Structure 1
Amino acid sequence: MKARIKWIDGVAMLGESGSGHAVVMDGPPELGGRNIGVRPMEMLLIGMGGCTQFDVLLILRKGRQEVTDCVVELEAERADQDPKVFTQIHAHFIVRGRGLDPKRVEQAIRLSAEKYCSASIMLGATAAITHDFEIHEA
């Protein structure tokens, strides 16, 4: 896997993935940014959310669960002093579908957290990660 980060100006950057996608990152004005993109630490949190949601959807589909929508809402706390690593992360899954089995949803989230989601497992080295979920009938 490769990535390239190109400085734009101030503290704005263009991140380019090895798969050919790009994202703008920037900082707040008080640190020299123009607030034109997400913060790098926000990218980490978004990456974890995408990674775990990918796993959960894949596991539920393999288990023949009819998911029609899935949202993961993440909240994180960071250390007060440098390095300001994540210390706590909570992932709240909102899963919508037809006849979803709560035990299968819970199992999919657990498997992602404990076995499959590389981002969650890496961030779990510094942060206490918790999960919960709600199911809505489609």
Structure 2
Amino acid sequence: MATTNHITTIWKGGMAFESTNPSGHPVNIDVAPEDGGAGSGFRPKALMLSGLAGCSGLDVAMLMKKMKLEVDDFRIETIANLTDEHPKYYDKVTIAYHFTGGALNKEKLQRAVDLSVEKYCGVMEMFRRFAELKIETVFHQK
């Protein structure tokens, strides 16, 4: 049986919306004041990038735990190019995985990133349908 997600998004006045999530936590969505909003929430397209980084990050964190890898800090920098023509969408996205630590196992960390990118992250697969993806892994020794 296919899994479905049901999201309810409610207009809160102006350009603001509140969107439910299967977790039960709401997300506020709004646009910048120069676009007629109050800047009181996430921008919809930027929220897609957070979803991409979060999905892949969860995979990598799970694999780091499973592989018993020592990492002091892990962050993902996601940089996307928005097209000029309407409807504007991301056509190129760079996802950079940054690992910091004193005893980084580079091969295993790279394997964790590769597994997320190539096999586990469904949001990555969705992005692959409309954007050129560039994946970088950066190691910072302490």
- TM-score of the aligned structures, taking structure 1 as reference length: 0.91
Q: For residue 42 of structure 1, what is the amino acid of its counterpart?
A: A
What SS does structure 2 have at the residue aligned with 1:66? Answer: coil
Figure out how many residues of one structure are paired with residues of the other and give that number: 138
2:7 is aligned with 1:3? yes
Match of 1:114 in 2: 118
Deviation at 1:98, TM superposition (A): 4.6
Give the aligned CA root-mean-square deviation in angstroms.
Answer: 1.5
Share of identical aligned residues, percent? 30
Match of 2:83 in 1: 79
2:94 is aligned with 1:90? yes
Moved more, 92-101 or 39-48: 92-101
Match of 1:44 in 2: 48
Deviation at 1:130, TM superposition (A): 1.1
Deviation at 1:135, TM superposition (A): 2.1
Deviations 1:28-82 (A, max 9, x none): 2233211111101111000001011111111122112122321101100122112
Deviations 1:76-111 (A, max 9, x none): 012211221210111111112352211111111111
Consecutive unaligned residues in structure 1, runs of 5 or more: none
In structure 1, distance between residues paired with 2:11 and 2:33: 16
- TM-score of the aligned structures, taking structure 2 as reference length: 0.89
In structure 2, distance between residues paired with 1:128 and 1:77: 10
In structure 1, distance between residues paired with 2:60 and 2:87: 31
Q: Which has the higher strand share?
A: 1
Shift >3 Å, 4+ stretches: none
In structure 2, distance between residues paired with 1:135 and 1:122: 27
Consecutive unaligned residues in structure 2, runs of 5 or more: none
